[in-house]
Amino acid sequence: MNRVKELIKKNNEREKVMLNENVQIYTNMIVYLRGSELSDYNQEVVREDIIALILEGQDRGDSIQKVMGENYKEICDEIIDAMPKKTKKEKILEFCQIAFNALAVLGLIRLGGVLIDFFTGNKSLIFTLTVGQILQGVLILSMANIMVNHITKNSFDLKGSRLYILVVAIFFTLILLMGYYLKMVVIRLAIWIAVILIFSLFIIAKLIDQKLSNAN
Amino acid sequence: MISSQMLKGVLEGCILKFIAQKETYAYEISRRLEEFGFEAISEGTIYPIILRLQKNNLIEAVFQKSKSGPKRKYYYLTEDGAQALEQFEENWRELELAVNHILNNGAENE
């Protein structure tokens, strides 16, 4: 197990004894830090320290407000400011890792669709992708990115703004419409080639993940 | 009320001083600051300063057993930290002298 995963496991274990009244603010702080430019390892180092401060406070009978002060966002900004940031190379690798992983998952879902069609006797065992399905994939990934970004940046004041709800609604409508109307097939592969490609995407994503973990 | 920017600079020096006196941890630092007259400085305020000191290699952390249970992070001064503390003390004395001079004599000249 690499040291990031080890630390994640340790932190997950330690946070279990946190009192309910402390969990909400602690979670908001961690979610906010997740959206920062800190590396995964540094995020976990900070998380480890924050858990230790809160649990020690708990043992003394101090609330999270007393331990952390009341300006949680300001404290998180100062923490982020004080820690080393991801390099450009790390950012690119991280983007590729997420993108490859997401493409592999979407590919796997599509593969499931092809297999279901085959076993219900409707179609042949050919992996096809239509314009609509490709655009759906791009939109799903973009929407996931926008949602994560919105949640992490606004973790201390997460109210569904009208504009945000409207953007999500438009995305969903577009995703549905594209799948329905844009049915021109642009990719047609033998099923075994599709399986190899999807598997390769998973492997590449995993290798990048390992490289990122070793770099931290 | 001391401005937050000024307070952070001063706190950095004070924290270095406490750590120079003995290996210590965040809560103890906040207690000692309170003892010396700083108004309720939480560990949340101290923690980013500690991180910055660590990033600049002025202090380092080591896990040690605590009486209360799990291991706790104790901080100790590095060689660079000792030099930075010396520099802070020198700067502070100069600043204190200059400000006192203005506050004490400036009013008389008005």
Chain A interface disruption, residue of B30, B51, B52, B72, most A CBs within 10 A: B51
Chain B interface disruption, residue of A17, A18, A49, most B CBs within 10 A: A49
pLDDT reported for residue A162: 72
Q: Do A56 and A128 share a structural domain?
A: no
Of A58, A82, A106, which residue is a domain's last? A82
A73 — pLDDT class (breaks 50, 70, 90): very high
Q: Give yes or no for B5 touching A (CB within 8 A).
A: no
Phi/psi at A12 (nearest 5 deg)? -60, -40
**Separation in Å, CA of B105 to nearest CA in chain A:** 38
Contacts with B66 (C-beta within 8 Å, 6 or more apart), sequence order = A56, B25, B72
Nearest CB to B26 within list A46, A53, A69: A53
Q: Give yes or no for B57 touching A (CB within 8 A).
A: no
**Residue A156: which domain range?**
88-215
Task: Give yes or no for a contact between A133 and A179, defined as CB atoms under 8 angstroms apart.
Answer: yes
Q: How many helices (H) and strands (E) does chain A have?
A: 9, 2
Q: Give which of A28, A26, A25 is closest to A155, Cα–Cα.
A: A28
Local structure of residue A69 (DSSP, 8 states)? -
Q: Do A102 and A75 share a structural domain?
A: no
Task: Give yes or no for a contact between B10 and B96, defined as CB atoms under 8 angstroms apart.
Answer: no
In this predicted complex, what is the ipTM? 0.84
pLDDT exceeds 60 at position B1: no
Which of A36-45, A151-160, B26-35, B40-49 has the weakest average pLDDT?
A: A151-160
* Number of domains composing chain B: 1
Between B91 and A123, name the one with better pLDDT: B91
pLDDT exceeds 60 at position A70: yes
Q: Residue B96 burial (CB < 10 Å; 0-12/13-18/19+)?
A: exposed
Average pLDDT over residues A160-186: 77
Sign of the Cα pseudo-torsion (B84, B89, B93, B95, in order): positive
Average pLDDT over residues A187-212: 91
Local structure of residue B25 (DSSP, 8 states)? -
Q: Do A182 and A104 share a structural domain?
A: yes
Q: Do A195 and A179 share a structural domain?
A: yes
Chain A interface disruption, residue of B25, B33, B43, most A CBs within 10 A: B43
Q: By CA distance, what is A46's nearest residue in B? A: B51
Q: Do A149 and A171 share a structural domain?
A: yes
Average pLDDT over residues A85-93: 89
Here the CATH number for the domain that contains residue A24 is 1.10.1900
Beta-strand ranges (E) seen in chain A are: 126-130, 185-190
DSSP B87-107: HHHHHHHHHHHHHHHIIIIIH
**Residue B79: which domain range?**
4-109
* Number of domains composing chain A: 2
> A with B: how many residue pairs have Cβ under 8 Å apart?
51
